[in-house]
Amino acid sequence: MNPVKIGLLGLGTVGGGTATVLKRNAEEISRRVGRDIVVSHVATLDLDRVDELGLNHGIKATQEAADVVNDPDIDIVVELIGGYSPAKELVLQAIENGKHIVTANKALIAMHGNEIFAKAQEKGVMVAFEAAVAGGIPIIKAMREGLSANHIEWLAGIINGTGNFILTEMRDKGRDFADVLAEAQALGYAEADPTFDIEGIDAAHKLSILSSLAYGIPLQFDKTYTEGISNITPEDVEYASELGYRIKHLGIARRTTQGIEQRVHPTMIPERRLIANVDGVMNAVLVQGDAVGPTLYYGAGAGDEPTASAVVADIIDVARALTADPNNRVPHLAFQPDLLADTPILPMSNIQTAFYLRICAEDKPGVLAEMTKILGDRNISIEAIIQKEPNDDKATIIMLTHIVREGDMDDAIETLEALDIVCGKITRIRVESLG
Ligand code: HSE
């Protein structure tokens, strides 16, 4: 049988890893597929990479990505450029040309996936994006196929390796935020714009994809609540630990009777949970299905070959399905495209969670009573309270609350911050038991 011909857009970290894995495991891959898979055309701004990666045997190389997209010999375009544009235009043109797509681009799928999938459906081609979420962990396949019997109750994921690496190093070694970030950049884990990692945008891209797969709703990245880790202080990390918790930057999607919670923020979770012990650049996704119960998926969420593992698996999947009936393929968003639901994504004020509060207050009689009254008046019940040794007549008060409506907590915090006895802003971290 003729080989399947690949056009590769981008030979950076993931592109290089993909070329290397395809070459090293070529014999085994062709035994799995029943056909050879060959990279026949690559686009890269740095043409020296072609030699560096040992791809210089009869391969076409160009600096113009459009040459690959418009090459009639290519069966599958593998987009590993990243970012919104020109990736979107190139992918749409490739689909127009009848080519199947494999991409690791979470930003592209989260922002433009609805349009891209509609176009792919129209043209009868596949768009595979396993590497877009949690690098090498086959979470898309698990959600779309392995868990397809389940009603997904909730999922929670550590889906940004750079953020997890930073929080882990801060906790274990007391390292400086900027220093850890620089190391993640040098190792090729961080995004081109590292604020995407730190401010939760990268995790929000990935969460909106997972949420759509879980609940059969269109991609809605713009409705994802996104809060980063840049305000987490070493004190909060230490107090969380004293209380038996770890702070993780989680993406959470949960189905409620009113709608779907879709949120990314620092979260305190009990340290006894397996996911609380996922450290460094590793990713993990915990999925609670009604039939299967909790399932946990763990592995490398970034890096050249771990991400290439997912890219190449997608290439193999597409190569195997090249001759399959387009109407009987696994749907892009796990549910049939004409049966997606319009379940609303809930505004943050309507979500329910417990809270950790760190409050700086004057150390004098009646202060605690005044503060707890404000919480009590809003039906906010306190689970634990600790007052730290006062310093200059100022005390640090740590409170853990029971589960409350976020809107009530917003109101309580605003009222507390307006008191003369409270100094500065109150730190809040949402607490999830994940039980
Ligand atoms: N910047 C991402 C991370 C890379 O740190 O997880 C993988 O998507």
CA of 250 to the centre of ligand 1 (A): 14
Instruction: Please report the atom of ligand 1 found closest to the CA of residue 132.
Output: 8
**Nearest CA, atom 7, ligand 1:** 302
CA of 190 to the centre of ligand 1 (A): 6
Same domain, 267 and 399: no
Any domain includes 155: yes
The answer to whether residue 343 sits within a structural domain is no
Cβ(91)–Cβ(67) under 8 Å? no
**What are the pocket residues of ligand 1 if the criterion is a CB atom closer than 6 Å to any ligand atom?**
135, 160-162, 189-191, 197, 202, 301-302
Please indicate, yes or no, whether residues 161 and 270 belong to a single structural domain of this protein: yes
State the CATH number of the domain containing residue 46: 3.40.50.720
What's the whole-model pTM score? 0.96
Q: Whose CA is nearest to atom 8 of ligand 1?
A: 302
Q: In this structure, are 131 and 145 located in the same domain?
A: no
- Structure token pair of residue 307: 């991400």
Q: What's the whole-number mean pLDDT along residues 419-425?
A: 95
Percentage of residues of the chain with pLDDT beyond 90 = 87
* pLDDT level of residue 15 (50, 70, 90 thresholds): very high
Is residue 47 located within the same domain as residue 88? yes
Pair (70, 48) in one structural domain: yes
Please indicate, yes or no, whether residues 208 and 314 belong to a single structural domain of this protein: no
User: Is residue 356 predicted with pLDDT exceeding 90?
Assistant: yes
Q: What is the CATH number of the domain that holds 427?
A: 3.30.70.260
d(CA 73, CA 6): 9
Q: What pLDDT, in 10s, does the model give residues 83-102?
A: 999 999 999 999 999 999 99
Tally the domains of the chain. 3
Same domain, 332 and 295: no
- What mean pLDDT do residues 395-422 have? 97
What domain range includes position 24?
A: 4-136+304-336
398 CA → ligand 1 middle, Å: 32
